[in-house]
Structure 1
Amino acid sequence: MRGLRSLEALHRTASTSRVLNLFQDYEKNNEEDEYARCPYFQDLTLNRAIFVKHRLRSDETYLMPRSSPVATKIIFPFDKKTLCAGGQSILIVQSGYQQTLIEMLGGEQSHMEEDFTLLELLSKLPLLDPFLLKETLTRYGFTPAQCYFAMSTADIERMRSFLDEQIQQLITLALGGSNNQMSLRIKRMVDAILTKDTESRLDPLRVNLGLDGQQFEDGIFSWKSFCTSSGSFAAAW
């Protein structure tokens, strides 16, 4: 019964730093045009699954090709109307997972190449935070509908507050100045990190660091990922 209760709890949980709930996204948005045009996954069943960053138990470690305390689990509910009936699951990149997943999805492999690429990308991320997912997927050419990345105003404010705190010391050391000046500089830096045109707005920084475009883009992406991931951890704790 514990597994059923846990699955019911996941059903009620929106996407968070640990959970990507495509089942809930389907229930909320399946009648929207953008949802139909721009799915997360091409396979319909996979596009209604629940993904969880899962701490491996001792009897699960042998399934994975490399030692890691955390894996990404895919959960498929048995009943699309209720999760009380439970579901089946598989760990991304566990031994033989591609063939097993194809069989779980009905044996069709013709459209799975892109989905497998996306699955392995998800498995490499430390978190399933909506902001980090959107940044990562865009970087690799995946453009699911905006509804998959919905974040509450409170979530966004927590992220901004965390970034403010982390950047404050950097701005103070680099530029100094009054509290009012510092607040303005921090706001500009946070805005630059969180906006889509990060690289162009921070181009003077790239020039001063002596980096080419790709090096700077990689560095900013890593910094952004670290800050947003850490912010999610901080909010969770």
Structure 2
Amino acid sequence: MTYRSFRSLEDLERTGSTARILNLLKVYRENGKEQEWIEKPLFVNRELNTSIIIKHRLRQNEHDRFFAPRKNATKIVIPIEKSDLKTGGRYIFVNQINFEDVMQEQFGITRDSQDLVVLDIMDKLPSLDPFLLKERLSRSNINPASCYFALSDSDLQAMHDFVKVEITPLVKLSMEDPNAETRSIDRMAAMILSNAPGANNDTLGKTLRLNPSQFQEGVFSWKGFLYYKWSLGALLKDISGVADRITNVTPIGAMDSASRDYISRSRKFLRKEIGRACLEVRNTIKIYETAYSALTVDGNPSAFKNFLLEAPALFDQLGEQIGVIEHIVSFSKHRFGPRSASITAEELMDILMDFEMSLRRQDIDDLG
């Protein structure tokens, strides 16, 4: 199958990775000669390891490619010519009907290949956010080179500091020696971020009466909530500026009345829907905050237990919501920034359509 939006493919390649896009072609161009990239590839298959992987909102004519109903899919785009993305690319959806047969036929990837395991992990995650992808792969003892994950040391430290502040009320609940508090907070933060078993985690799991599997999955999703809550702070600082960029960017060249009308309507729709999407993210995070407050303030562990049991499903919902916002913020900064190249009306409409598709709710999609 051919990827039809060649202008979009070029822009995806230039933009780099976001929560919705894992740009392995750009990773290869920037790191392909490094020893770590050579020795610790994300995918063994060379074509996969230079592909562009996208979290894609399924269109009406794409739902029949899967056995079970789903809103989103993970799309693998293989550029036909890596040096000229205008030639387009081939694509396949992860876990579509006959997926393993197609992968073996097109790429020579057998059913027992680790590459299929990595793709399945990506498909099960709500976004391709590097922090969560790295953590989930690590749980399966898959540890690719660090260049695949755009995480700076300062980002990791900031995330660690945020978690320490967040879990302090929980640690204080179980502390009798105030002098040991700082050490315990550091240890528990490290355990949560690594998802490793430890005394504090084991004790919390037993207190909440969760079996090890339930607790481990719940803690991973809790970590996701913490990460997304931390990420949201930075996104909210950018989102009003992004809405302004979308509203004010002026395309070059001739533009007919139909294009002008569509761009005007789309800008109004996007400003409204971006605000709604941010509110939905806040409301989902509030579910966690309410349950955590019930545990740490009211001494009610059952509310947090219920949150951990529901967290995997909520985590998927939150990841989808915040992934869309992060994609729009990242792409808008790249394409509508002060140093960006001029944009035609046709390209602007393509981008606005992509943003609209990402933001539209499933109940709206179903009406179409």
TM-score, normalised on structure 1? 0.77
Q: Which has the higher helix share?
A: 2
Pair 82,134 (structure 1): closer, same or farther in 2 beyond 3 Å: same
User: Which deviations, in whole Å up to 9, do the C-alpha atoms of 1:201-232 show, x marking residues without a partner?
Assistant: xx235314416655543332221133334555
2:135 alignment counterpart: 135
Pair 116,2 (structure 1): closer, same or farther in 2 beyond 3 Å: closer
Does the 8 Å contact 1:65/1:93 carry over to 2?
no
User: Which deviations, in whole Å up to 9, do the C-alpha atoms of 1:30-54 show, x marking residues without a partner?
Assistant: 1111111111111111111111100
User: Which deviations, in whole Å up to 9, do the C-alpha atoms of 1:53-91 show, x marking residues without a partner?
Assistant: 000111111112211111100001111223222111111
Does the 8 Å contact 1:42/1:112 carry over to 2?
no
1:199 alignment counterpart: 197
- Deviation (angstroms), 1:100: 2.2
Does the 8 Å contact 2:205/2:212 carry over to 1?
no
1:63 alignment counterpart: 65
- Determine if the alignment matches structure 1 residue 113 to structure 2 residue 113: yes
SS of aligned partner of 2:78? strand
SS of aligned partner of 2:197? helix
Which among 67, 74, 77 is matched to residue 75 of structure 1?
A: 77
Equivalent AA in structure 2 for residue 134 of structure 1: K
1:20 alignment counterpart: 22
- C-alpha separation in 2, matches of 1:52 and 1:143: 21
1:125 alignment counterpart: 125
Does the 8 Å contact 1:20/1:128 carry over to 2?
yes
TM-score, normalised on structure 2? 0.52
User: Which deviations, in whole Å up to 9, do the C-alpha atoms of 1:86-121 show, x marking residues without a partner?
Assistant: 11111111112222233332xx24586221222122
- C-alpha separation in 2, matches of 1:83 and 1:101: 22
Deviates more, 1:149-158 or 1:69-78: 149-158
- C-alpha separation in 2, matches of 1:59 and 1:78: 24
Equivalent AA in structure 1 for residue 98 of structure 2: G
- Deviation (angstroms), 1:169: 7.8
Deviates more, 1:156-165 or 1:38-47: 156-165
Paired residue total: 227
SS of aligned partner of 2:87? coil
- Determine if the alignment matches structure 1 residue 102 to structure 2 residue 101: no
Determine which structure has more spread, i.e. the larger CA radius of gyration: 2
1:178 alignment counterpart: none
- C-alpha separation in 1, matches of 2:185 and 2:117: 37
Equivalent AA in structure 2 for residue 193 of structure 1: I
Deviates more, 1:84-93 or 1:52-61: 84-93
- C-alpha separation in 2, matches of 1:128 and 1:109: 22
Unaligned runs of 5+ in 1: 176-181
Deviates more, 1:10-19 or 1:157-166: 157-166
SS of aligned partner of 1:60? helix
Equivalent AA in structure 2 for residue 222 of structure 1: S
Does the 8 Å contact 1:43/1:112 carry over to 2?
no
SS of aligned partner of 1:84? helix
2:33 alignment counterpart: 31
User: Which deviations, in whole Å up to 9, do the C-alpha atoms of 1:125-159 show, x marking residues without a partner?
Assistant: 11111110111001012121121113246755775
Pair 69,85 (structure 1): closer, same or farther in 2 beyond 3 Å: same
- C-alpha separation in 1, matches of 2:41 and 2:17: 16
Equivalent AA in structure 2 for residue 225 of structure 1: G
Equivalent AA in structure 2 for residue 86 of structure 1: G
Deviates more, 1:219-228 or 1:124-133: 219-228
